[in-house]
Structure 1
């Protein structure tokens, strides 16, 4: 359940003049100039990170640019952000994002990419003009379309219509945006959106595109509330999912046991528990720590029901304690989670034979000794067809194939879920696999909307590790909860199958003098179990919050700087989750909370 960073390496810079950007000015024949600098920002041997920075050196605003360059054979782009990058052989093309606004005189804009190979760019062009710093005729961007109107609203659909935009050379088409994410491109001034969730709020805007592929400003927004109500027995209905992870290893150094869920009051405030983690080895589900799971003996004072384990009983350990917990909380559901950051490497082999994997998982979860303890399975693959602790190349369909086989084997009476990345960048982890296809077999996704930023970037900049929304100065645009949820929705994943993730811990740096985010640091702040990370229950008193940014609290105490969620920020995040029609929320993990479970309480109250 960890989000990781790119490797750090030396910097090399190649300056190239860039001439051809389309000018946005009132006269159709306005002209301006621009330059661009290419920088190799990181190089880790097997790959590199590059960045183009375009600067408007003219007197008119710029809009609608297309950068072209050539790489030598063997050098290529593997992923990109803040631009749409394509190629034809060794010739590469980058277009501005549809949501990018005009570039003012003297301003600059950057886009980056990861690549492989050792070559540098050559033959730079923009809109077909050589990169020599010359002037380029301008072209006005389209006007904003009229604010859409909504009609024929049903449980799952709505018809939209809007006034036409104008452009000096003609409007080519319109992008329709739902909750900020593009859902369609049409040539007319109307669109019918389908596949919506009953009883859910949506916001629609429209943006015009001209024949030069320039996008104009976004229209005003129309709010739509679909009719009907979601089945209250399903996620997203009257009963939101409130899920917490219980770690198998927490019974050791952390001294956190199933009974703590009772003494803290947390067990009665959650609907589901994920037991973490089972291992994935040789393409199969296997036990993690069998002693902690099935054999550890509990005394009467440690046991959920006050009854001590005996030497000859068939099941002890966490599984037996969870059985007792479910007896006290009959509506509580428990899932066995497999994989996680450390044990996800086994999914690559599992993807080669999904049916065999599903059978192994079913045989283990439904073992007669503890079958009554579990109500389903959670797959925590970090990350399909992308890199986590290790890199996987199973292909776009691997996750869909695995979840489909798992659902087929476990059937409709068991829950089947998955924990997934929250990388909202273009070409990032959420673009590496068929998450919409996989969602068809799943009850929900646990979207890991935390660990976006941390002290693996030892010198900073300091940033909230769980930002709800973007903010000025965010180190990586797209690394927010809102971006991740919007991307998944735009791919066709129903909002009711998305759970918002909350971390019950903070991430921090030391050697920080600046109170606000964006400060420099000298390394990770000290933590009890790991440098740069600490439980909420410790931070709330050792380093109380001094401010909030992007919906997350931060704290500057002495030379240490931390970010973490508090009951107040969780309340605002739960309100946001409900406004998005999400199925609920989950958190990592119980032992980071206070002894009276104040963070669990905030989630429970916030989702009522």
Structure 2
């Protein structure tokens, strides 16, 4: 092996460096001013119709221009993203433009390099954003817990879920950044509508302007496909973390994408249906309509990648929902078929994406409604059954008063049909696996005014003259308001230990409110553990001050965490 002496080696290195310095390397390019935000799924920030709102592509179309103010132009131009070549082409002058596709969302350091036989010169880096609906381009939305929310670890293996409603960003001013996400395993987004006009979505006409808003959203879109009810709230309203004019996704969806970055284990599910949006389900005995619906759900999940499956909130198979004209004995069979076909679609989607998708459903806790569906069969397609063990009583009936979300029947009416235990037992009697059943808790109260004619100092034995004044609508009061305003003074708090249900009563006006509190939720959590059920969920997260969600976590055995 030949040995070089050190002076000779130094001479060779110096000669090489001198030659490189004298070579005609290209000049250093400068990236021109231009768009730095691009999107794989494009959103029209002015559109109201879903078909115009959303343009789905396989990759973002990225464009960059550059200038060369001095030096050799080189023979080849390259665009580098995080140091890796994304595009190359001939360099022919003192300026240039490259158009190319990027199929993965994120933030990239982009450079333009001009090259010739003697080497390359690269521009300074410019950050570009390639937005995708998985939120990979966004900073994690991790906000401090508010009000009385305490941190918990999700280590019990049980579901801790809650609904977040699309319209909560308006009067309630409850945005995604206020959700105590670390204390949840599941977040249900209410609600995703199904397209259809007169005769298909008549229940929606109960709410002023809501039917018309859906028709705008569904313009040019086939009936029985899903849509977005309020595109402004969902995608166009500036919110924390997504405030820039050129942010591709704003609103609830933009924030949920960022929330997913902070809490990747949180399951976020679009809830399709709800009280006033369930009418289209009653037409799905027709397989053509059902297939169109299922196909549109697949398209929806492919478009909005931050979602982890789908929740079906059909109120209610067999009837007795918002529209008294809808309901058929065949609904139970349709429900089972719908679940089976949704499961098959989700499994197909899993094979395509490598992700697991959940299928859940919110159902009535009334035995009369449960018995209309073979849940023992439907469960084979489902991950969780959210038992809506609330709304048992309320100002919709002024003659028959009772606990709206009790675990058990009260001693003064032991034959009460609508209780949490009765709902669970109806499912268990069918053969539903206990672990599939998730028990509902209420983050709100229902109430009456003018309660009179009651006996034995039990106001529920009387009758009422109307609904109690509510927080947002009469008859319904947020738990936050109950805890803050109705626990003192003339208000009398009572806990029914037999029913495991609290209530407050104001004798001077006959105002009576039935609700859940930390103690009743603790009882529900103990019941879930004793019966080996799936967990607890709640309606709805914006109405809680932290007391209810804290009790949900503590009662299921989740240990204290850190923020």
Q: TM-score range by the shorter chain?
A: 0.5 to 0.7
The answer to whether structure 1 residue 292 and structure 2 residue 230 are counterparts is no
Q: Provide the TM-score with structure 2 as the length reference.
A: 0.61
Structure 2 residue 355 is matched with structure 1 residue 422: no
CA distance in 2, matches of 1:237, 1:492: 27
Higher helix share: 2
**Shift of the alpha carbon at 1:471?**
2.3
How far apart are residue 520 of structure 1 and its match? 2.3
How far the C-alpha of 1:238 sits from its partner, in A, is 4.3
Q: SS at the partner of 2:425?
A: helix
1:500 aligns with 2:439: yes
TM-score, normalised with respect to structure 1: 0.56
Deviation of 1:347 after TM superposition, in Å, equals 0.8
1:551 aligned onto 2:485: no
For residues 355 and 308 of structure 1, the distance between their equivalents in structure 2, rounded to whole angstroms, comes to 35
> Hey, what does 1:453 align to over in structure 2?
393
Which residue, out of 534, 537, 540, partners 1:586? Answer: 537
Partner of 1:600: 549
Alignment of structure 1 residues 224-243 onto 2, 5 Å: 238-243=156-161
Task: Give the drift of 1:284.
Answer: 2.4
CA contact (8 A) 2:405 2:515 kept: yes
**How far apart are 1:237 and its partner, in Å?**
9.7
For 1:271 and 1:464, locate their aligned partners in 2 and report how far apart those are by CA, in whole Å: 28
Aligned to 1:359, what secondary structure does the other structure show?
A: helix
Distance in 2, Cα, partners of 1:238 & 1:381:
29
1:377 to 301, 310, 319: 310
Match of 2:320 in 1: 387
> Where in structure 2 are the equivalents of 1:243-254 lying within 5 Å?
243-254=161-172
Residue 352 (str. 1) matches residue 273 (str. 2): no
1:528–1:534 Cα contact (<8 Å) kept: yes
CA shift digits 1:412-435 (9 cap, x unpaired): 6200100001002xxx11111222
2:371 matched to 1:431? yes
Q: Secondary structure at the match of 1:310?
A: coil
The alpha-carbon deviation at position 382 of structure 1 amounts to 0.3
State the distance in 1 between where 2:414 and 2:358 align: 37
Q: Deviations over 1:67-104 (max 9, x none)?
A: xxxxxxxxxxxxxxxxxxxxxxxxxxxxxxxxxxxxxx
Paired with 1:330 and 1:381, the residues of 2 have a C-alpha distance of 28
2:443 and 2:544 in contact (8 A); partners too: yes
Indicate if the aligned counterparts of 2:447 and 2:467 stay in contact, CA closer than 8 A.
yes
Supply the distance in 1 between the matched residues of 2:543 and 2:358 (Cα, whole angstroms): 26
Distance between the aligned counterparts of 1:249 and 1:322, measured in 2?
Answer: 15
User: Counterparts of 1:129-144 in structure 2 under 5 Å?
Assistant: none
Report the CA distance shift for 1:237/1:430 in structure 2 as closer, same or farther (over 3 A): farther
Q: Matches of 2:500 and 2:157 in 1, distance apart?
A: 24
**Runs of 4+ displaced beyond 6 Å:** none
Deviation string 1:457-511 (CA, Å, 9 cap, x unpaired) is: 12x3431101111123439732110001001011011110000001100011111
| 1:405 to 2:323 alignment | no
| CA offset digits 1:145-193 (Å, max 9, x no partner) | xxxxxxxxxxxxxxxxxxxxxxxxxxxxxxxxxxxxxxxxxxxxxxxxx
SS in 2 for 1:342: coil
- Once residues 564 and 475 of structure 1 are traced to their aligned partners in structure 2, the CA distance between those partners, rounded to angstroms, is 19
Larger radius of gyration: 2
Mapped contact 2:390–2:441 kept (Cα < 8 A): yes
Match in the other structure for 1:533: 476
Q: What's 2:125 paired with?
A: none
Deviation at 1:395, TM superposition (A): 3.2
Q: Secondary structure at the match of 2:194?
A: strand
Moved more, 537-546 or 414-423: 537-546
CA distance in 2, matches of 1:532, 1:481: 21
Q: 1-side partners of 2:538 and 2:553: how far apart?
A: 12
User: 1:542 Cα shift?
Assistant: 2.1
Q: Residue 279 of structure 2 aligns to a residue in which SS?
A: helix
Conserved in 2, the CA contact under 8 Å of 1:463 and 1:475? no
Aligned to 1:464: 403
Q: Does 1:278 align with 2:192?
A: yes
The 2-side partners of 1:249 and 1:256 are apart by 9
Q: How does 1:316-327 map to 2 (within 5 A)?
A: 316-327=250-261
1:271-293 CA-partner distances (Å, limit 9, x unpaired)? 11001100022322222211111
* RMSD (Å) for aligned C-alpha atoms: 1.8
**Structure 1: any 5+ residue segments left out of the alignment?**
1-235
Q: Distance in 1 between matches of 2:547 and 2:416?
A: 31
Q: Distance in 2 between matches of 1:486 and 1:535?
A: 29
More RCO (CA 8 Å, sep 6+): 2
CA distance, structure 2, for counterparts of residue 498 and residue 328 of structure 1: 28
- 1:98 corresponds in structure 2 to none
| 1:366 has 2:317 as partner | no
- More strand by percentage: 1
